[in-house]
């Protein structure tokens, strides 16, 4: 690995002044593990898509350190099973289940209203849920499924919950993206990919949108003097049901072959979003991922978004379009 590659891997976004060391992978600095998670008593975490995969692992880790975790799921039955699993692994865990379907903005609004009605203070919102490489289909409101779920659902949810975060100590929003964002582009002429639909391109667009959103959110929070911080994370190549729930045909066959051979355990893949959610040394606008083997595996470190993800004009245009599509206008 040459020095410039090292700098790109460990450099800190937004000029924080703390560039990471240029070291080979096998002499990296101390790994950030679950042991680094601080005590979380009195802090409340909302995790979307917490019934399986990375969301379930994150819930287990946060509850294990005393955090109160609001686990969300589309299916109450699956959600109840997930809560039971975490409760079994973490005796005495503080958990609650609320249903949320990010592919339905009515569900997003009802979920947000429920938290407001119950006066739930949120310390950290983890925008974790997602769908991957699905066949061409639409959300309830007619949006392309991946863009509508992965980006628009979380865009609306975050805007509707921002006031519940603002009054808390050290409030954060963590949005989960993917290394696929590097292949993505935002097609404003056909955001819903109605022409020549390609599952991979639609997924990459949604993951690029996640990063554009997370970075623009931090810019707006900073400009408004808000205490809320926006961070991003990606799980590398982690073995979850995401790879099987969406893809079909040859894409699904590849996942069946690749997962056992190359994917890391979801307990490792969940660490970047958990580090972004709880570590004391993180800063708004940072992006945590798995730094090894083309960012497919490893314990969480700072990684670099693509240049396109850092395009502020693109981010502003996407933000304005997202407000129009969702009807959610941010109070900042």
Which DSSP string corresponds to 91-137? TT-EEEEEE--TT-HHHHHHHHHHHHHTT---SEEEE-----SPPS-
Q: Where are the domains of the chain?
A: 38-326
Residue 332: per-residue pLDDT: 86
Residues near 328 by beta carbon (within 8 Å), at least 6 away in sequence: 155, 156, 159, 160, 322
Q: What stretches in the chain show pLDDT beneath 50? A: 1-28, 243-244, 250-261
Backbone angles phi, psi at 28, to 5 degrees: -65, 160
Which DSSP state fits 158? H
In a 13 Å sphere around the CA of 84, the CA atoms on its Cβ side amount to 6
Q: Give CA–CA dist 208/185, Å, rounded.
A: 7
Is 237 one of the annotated active-site residues of the chain?
no
pLDDT of 232 reads 98
Q: What are phi and psi of 290, to 5 degrees?
A: -100, 110
Q: By percentage, how much of the chain surpasses pLDDT 90?
A: 78
**pLDDT for the residue numbered 19:** 36
Do residues 86 and 95 make contact, with C-beta atoms less than 8 angstroms apart?
yes
Tokens representing residue 101 in the block = 């379907």
Residues 104-135 have pLDDT tens digits of 999 999 999 999 999 999 999 999 999 999 99
Give the CATH superfamily of 38-326: NAD(P)-binding Rossmann-like Domain (3.40.50.720)
- What per-residue confidence (pLDDT) applies to 14? 36
| Residue length of the chain | 332
- The two beta strands, 287-289 and 229-233, are parallel
Q: Which of 203, 237, 287, 288 is catalytic?
A: 203
The rounded distance, in Å, linking the Cα atoms of 104 and 232 is 23
The whole model's pTM is what? Answer: 0.86
Q: Evaluate the CA torsion angle 220, 204, 138, 116 in order and state its sign.
A: negative
């Amino acid at each position: 690995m040459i020095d410039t590659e090292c700098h790109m891997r460990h450099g800190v976004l937004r000029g924080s002044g703390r560039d990471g060391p240029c070291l080979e992978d096998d002499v990296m600095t101390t790994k950030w593990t679950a042991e680094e998670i601080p005590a979380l008593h009195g802090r409340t975490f909302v995790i979307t898509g917490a019934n399986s995969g990375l969301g379930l692992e994150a819930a287990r880790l946060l509850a294990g350190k005393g955090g109160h975790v609001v686990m969300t799921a589309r299916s109450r039955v699956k959600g109840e099973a997930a809560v039971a699993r975490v409760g079994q692994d973490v005796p005495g865990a503080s958990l609650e289940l609320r249903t949320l379907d990010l592919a339905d903005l009515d569900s997003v609004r009802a979920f947000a209203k429920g938290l407001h009605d119950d006066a739930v203070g949120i310390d950290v919102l983890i925008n974790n849920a997602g769908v991957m490489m699905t066949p061409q289909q639409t959300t309830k409101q007619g949006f392309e499924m991946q863009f509508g779920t992965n980006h628009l659902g979380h865009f609306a949810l975050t805007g509707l919950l921002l006031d519940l975060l603002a009054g808390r100590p050290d409030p954060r929003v963590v949005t989960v993206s993917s290394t696929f964002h590097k292949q993505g582009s935002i097609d404003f002429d056909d955001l819903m990919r109605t022409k020549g639909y390609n599952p991979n391109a639609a997924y990459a667009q949604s993951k690029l949108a996640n990063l554009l959103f997370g970075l623009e959110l931090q810019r707006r929070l900073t400009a408004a003097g808000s205490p809320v911080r926006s961070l991003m994370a990606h799980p590398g190549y982690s073995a979850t049901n995401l790879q099987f729930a969406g893809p079909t045909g040859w894409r699904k066959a590849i996942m069946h072959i690749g997962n056992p051979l190359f994917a890391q355990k979801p307990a490792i893949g969940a660490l970047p979003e958990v580090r972004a959610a709880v570590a004391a040394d993180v800063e708004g606008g940072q992006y945590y991922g798995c730094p090894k083997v083309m960012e497919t595996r490893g314990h969480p470190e700072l990684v670099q978004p693509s240049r396109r993800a850092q395009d502020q004009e693109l981010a502003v245009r996407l933000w304005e379009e997202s407000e129009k599509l969702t009807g959610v206008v941010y109070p900042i």
